[in-house]
């Protein structure tokens, strides 16, 4: 059985939803990021990067980085049909997942919520946050445009919908932002899914 290490409402939310959609049994273990559990030996033995999501597979090996975990879960559970078919759809899935995680989250949202990671001097923090807000807003616009003529990011529902979901969740629920139209519709469709509702309840977010 796979074990997911997650923190409530963190980016691990997207992998948690993917596991729920796949439907195979898994264990979900909470990591208390606020208390620094990610830096304690029990967790660094599992992931020395001190990050969630972390997936521990049946053979005991750890897999890290959202895009890699999302691809692995979709590829190893073909019955769940979460892996896009064909090179074009697969490339689009990787494109949107990398953009949502590496740019919208890590460059945008992280500047807003963790300015100290970008500038040691507190006097610079407001400028860092403002730059993060710009990157984040452009990110949401870009994700919205990627939904032109389609309801899901790779054409049909797949692992590609998980990273855009968690970055839209942060905008809607944590920043109380207005999400652009097509992305807002995608976010609403995701929120309506039983798997998403089950995960939100398990993470205490519902």
Instruction: Decide whether 53 or 132 has the Cβ nearer to ligand GSH.
Output: 53
Please give the residues from 101 up to 160 whose contact with ligand GSH meets the rule CB under 6 A: 101
Q: Would you call the peptide bond into 53 cis, given omega within 30 degrees of 0 as the criterion?
A: yes
Interface mask toward ligand GSH for 65-94; x: CB under 6 A: xx----------------------------
Least distance to ligand GSH, CB of residue 110, Å:
7
Least distance to ligand GSH, CB of residue 135, Å:
15
Instruction: Decide whether 33 or 179 has the Cβ nearer to ligand GSH.
Output: 33
Q: Which residues is 4 bridged to in the sheet?
A: 28, 55
Q: Which of 16-24, 48-56, 87-95, 131-139 is the region at the interface with ligand GSH (rule: CB under 6 A)?
A: 48-56
Please give the residues from 19 up to 38 whose contact with ligand GSH meets the rule CB under 6 A: 33, 38
Task: Calculate Rg over the CA atoms of the chain.
Answer: 17
Q: Which of 44-52, 91-99, 135-143, 144-152 is the region at the interface with ligand GSH (rule: CB under 6 A)?
A: 44-52
Instruction: Decide whether 114 or 138 has the Cβ nearer to ligand GSH.
Output: 114
Q: Are 6 and 53 in contact (CB under 8 A)?
A: yes
Instruction: Decide whether 63 or 177 has the Cβ nearer to ligand GSH.
Output: 63
> Is residue 11 part of the contact set for ligand GSH (CB under 6 A)?
yes
Instruction: Decide whether 36 or 86 has the Cβ nearer to ligand GSH.
Output: 36
Least distance to ligand GSH, CB of residue 172, Å:
16
DSSP the chain: -EEEEE-TTSTHHHHHHHHHHH-S-EEEEE--TTTTGGGSHHHHTT-TT--S-EEE-TTS-EEESHHHHHHHHHHH-GGG--SPSSHHHHHHHHHHHHIIIIIIIIIIIHHHH-GGGT-SSGGGHHHHHHHHHHHHHHHHHHHHHHTTT-SBTTBSSSGGGHHHHHHHHIIIIIS-PPPPHHHHHHHHHHHHSHHHHHHHHHTT--
Q: Binding residues for ligand GSH, per CB under 6 A?
A: 10-11, 33, 38, 50-53, 65-66, 101
């Amino acid at each position: 059985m796979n074990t997911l290490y997650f923190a409530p409402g963190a980016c691990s939310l997207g992998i948690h939803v993917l596991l729920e959609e796949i439907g195979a049994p898994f264990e979900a273990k909470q990591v208390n990021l606020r208390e620094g559990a990610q830096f304690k030996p029990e967790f660094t033995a599992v992931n020395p990067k001190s990050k969630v999501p972390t997936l521990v597979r049946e053979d005991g090996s750890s897999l890290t980085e959202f895009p890699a975990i999302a691809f692995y879960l979709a590829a190893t559970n073909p019955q769940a049909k979460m892996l896009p078919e064909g090179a074009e759809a697969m490339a689009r899935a990787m494109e949107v997942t990398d953009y949502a995680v590496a740019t919208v989250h890590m460059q945008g949202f992280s500047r807003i919520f963790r300015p100290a990671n970008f500038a040691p001097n507190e006097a610079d923090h407001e400028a860092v946050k403002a730059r993060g807000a710009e990157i984040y807003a452009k990110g949401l616009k870009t994700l919205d445009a990627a939904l032109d003529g389609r309801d899901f990011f790779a054409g049909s529902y797949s692992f590609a919908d998980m990273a855009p979901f968690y970055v839209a969740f942060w905008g809607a629920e944590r920043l109380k932002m207005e999400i652009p139209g097509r992305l807002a519709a995608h976010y609403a469709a995701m929120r309506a899914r039983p798997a998403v509702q089950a995960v939100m309840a398990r993470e205490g977010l519902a």
